């Protein structure tokens, strides 16, 4: 009997599709599995490579199947799509996953531990609450603007909104005041929850040396440092800092041909949470430098003298990503770059 070399798994909630392929790519089996049959099926299989798309529940199944001695590989869905032949079905998806995993040049996603997923849940829950609070504030400002009550944007001005609502007796209808108080209560509740999660993130960061080292870099605070450690794969996965920046989507998009290089905007591929946080931190650094002045002869000073601020911020985020990779791979703290005389 032909021995299976790669098993492609199309994940689902209840019905899973598996595709077994030999070392030469020939089909060994195609099967459907109910959720309760998955682990017993892989426990009975000889040790081989098991591949699946890096999607919802993939990390759980990767850890569970890996306990049977299999080598589990997670593939970005975008890298699987080119191997799908014609029509889409669970069977063709599983076959495409198995074929993609057999490619020598394929890139894979690192399997996360339970601790990493717990940290990711804390971060994403906080991010959800921040977005919900922003929506509630914007809704409140929009409703009050219809009655001539206007306040600046931002969570810092919620107190002003409260004062305007409570101090406009007779101007705002009673029904509007009551509904505004409901939104204010929602905003206060979300702010309390966000503060609680911020405290938990700071406590986790205090116990992690890698987070403490990353926070020595200007523009990287506790949230960004925690996100880097939580979402980024091990530094040794990347050969150099530019590869890490490309994984984050901070490198220019290429459209080169005929020996002529054409570079466009950043690709925005990869991990968007870290990319957004790095750009936000870079914008803060650029604004500070615009007010206080960048060190004379520094890269930042030279860029700000000839480029728009937003372009400088994105370029700085790229540099920050490269430096963060170097700091994580060498276990070093931030060192101020040398200036040009």
133 with 191: CB under 8 angstroms? yes
* Residue 137 sits in the same domain as residue 184: yes
Q: At what angle do helices 241-248 and 309-330 cross, to 10 degrees?
A: 130
* Residue 222 sits in the same domain as residue 200: no
Which residues span the domain enclosing 233?
Answer: 210-330
Q: Where are the alpha helices (DSSP H) in the chain?
A: 38-44, 58-66, 77-80, 90-101, 114-145, 158-166, 174-206, 209-214, 222-231, 241-248, 272-292, 299-304, 309-330
Q: Does a structural domain hold residue 309?
A: yes
* Residue 91 sits in the same domain as residue 36: yes
How far from 200 is each of 123, 130, 145, 184, 229, CA to CA, in Å? 10, 15, 36, 25, 15
How far from 275 is each of 16, 142, 148, 252, CA to CA, in Å? 33, 30, 39, 14
pLDDT tens, position by position, 315-332: 999 999 999 999 999 999
Statement: residue 271 has pLDDT above 70: yes
Q: Does a structural domain hold residue 27?
A: yes
Q: String of b and e for 119-152 (b: at least 16 CB within 10 Å)?
A: bbebbeebbebbebbeebbeebbeebeeeebebe
34 with 14: CB under 8 angstroms? yes
Higher-scoring residue by pLDDT: 258, 195: 195
Statement: residue 313 has pLDDT above 60: yes
61 with 38: CB under 8 angstroms? yes
- Quick one: pLDDT at residue 252? 85
Distance CA 283, CA 127 (A): 19
Among 105-114, 149-158, 174-183, 262-271, the minimum mean pLDDT is found in 262-271
Cβ contacts of 219 within 8 Å, gap of 6 or more: 278, 281, 282, 284, 285, 316, 320
* Residue 80 sits in the same domain as residue 23: yes
194 with 80: CB under 8 angstroms? no
CA nearest 211: which of 328, 108, 67?
Answer: 328
User: pLDDT confidence of 263, banded at 50, 70, 90?
Assistant: confident
Distance CA 102, CA 73 (A): 10
Q: How many domains does the chain have?
A: 3
Q: Which residue among 101, 126, 148 closes a domain?
A: 101
Q: Does a structural domain hold residue 338?
A: no
* Residue 241 sits in the same domain as residue 183: no
* Residue 320 sits in the same domain as residue 233: yes
* Residue 217 sits in the same domain as residue 202: no
Q: Which residue among 101, 125, 147 closes a domain?
A: 101
Q: Does a structural domain hold residue 236?
A: yes
How far from 155 is each of 13, 82, 142, 189, 191, CA to CA, in Å? 39, 45, 14, 13, 9
Helix (H, G, I), strand (E, B) or coil at 24: coil
Tokens 């591949």 sit at which residue?
Answer: 51
Per-residue tokens: 230 = 């939580």
* Residue 222 sits in the same domain as residue 311: yes
Helix (H, G, I), strand (E, B) or coil at 228: helix
Distance CA 122, CA 143 (A): 32
Q: Does a structural domain hold residue 109?
A: no
- Quick one: pLDDT at residue 172? 84
How far from 178 is each of 173, 184, 185, CA to CA, in Å? 9, 10, 11
Distance CA 34, CA 15 (A): 5
* Residue 119 sits in the same domain as residue 18: no
Q: Average pLDDT, stretch 299-321?
A: 93
Statement: residue 341 has pLDDT above 60: no
Q: Average pLDDT, stretch 130-141?
A: 95
Q: Does a structural domain hold residue 1?
A: no
């Amino acid at each position: 009997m032909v021995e299976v070399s790669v098993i492609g798994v199309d994940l689902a909630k209840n019905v899973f599709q598996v595709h077994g392929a030999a070392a030469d790519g020939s089909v060994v089996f195609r099967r459907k599995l109910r959720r309760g049959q998955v682990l017993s099926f892989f426990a009975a299989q000889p040790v081989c490579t098991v591949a699946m798309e890096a999607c919802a529940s993939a990390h759980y199944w990767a850890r569970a199947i890996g306990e049977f001695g299999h080598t589990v590989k997670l593939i970005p869905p975008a890298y699987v799509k080119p191997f799908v032949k014609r029509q889409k079905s669970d069977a063709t998806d599983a076959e495409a996953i198995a074929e993609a995993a057999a490619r020598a040049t394929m890139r894979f996603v690192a399997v996360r531990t339970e601790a990493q997923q717990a940290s990711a849940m804390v971060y994403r829950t906080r991010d959800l609450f921040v977005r919900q609070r922003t929506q509630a504030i914007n809704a409140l400002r929009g409703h009050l603007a219809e009655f001539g009550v206007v306040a600046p944007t931002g969570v810092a001005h919620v107190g002003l909104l409260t004062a305007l609502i409570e101090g406009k007796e007779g101007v705002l209808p009673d029904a509007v005041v009551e509904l505004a108080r409901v939104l204010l209560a929602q905003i206060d509740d979300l702010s309390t929850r966000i503060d609680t999660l911020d405290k938990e993130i700071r406590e986790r960061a205090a116990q992690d040396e890698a987070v403490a080292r990353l926070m020595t870099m200007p523009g990287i605070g506790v949230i960004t440092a925690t996100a880097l450690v939580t979402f980024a794969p091990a530094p040794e996965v990347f050969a150099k800092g530019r590869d890490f920046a490309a994984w984050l989507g901070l490198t220019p998009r290429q459209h080169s041909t005929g020996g002529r290089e054409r570079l466009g905007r950043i690709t925005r591929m990869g991990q968007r949470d870290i990319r957004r946080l790095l750009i936000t931190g870079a914008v803060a650094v650029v604004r500070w430098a615009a007010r206080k002045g960048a060190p004379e002869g520094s890269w930042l000073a030279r860029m700000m003298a000839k480029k728009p601020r937003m372009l400088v911020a994105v370029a700085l985020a790229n540099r920050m990503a490269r430096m963060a990779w170097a700091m994580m791979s060498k276990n070093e703290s931030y060192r101020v770059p040398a200036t040009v005389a």
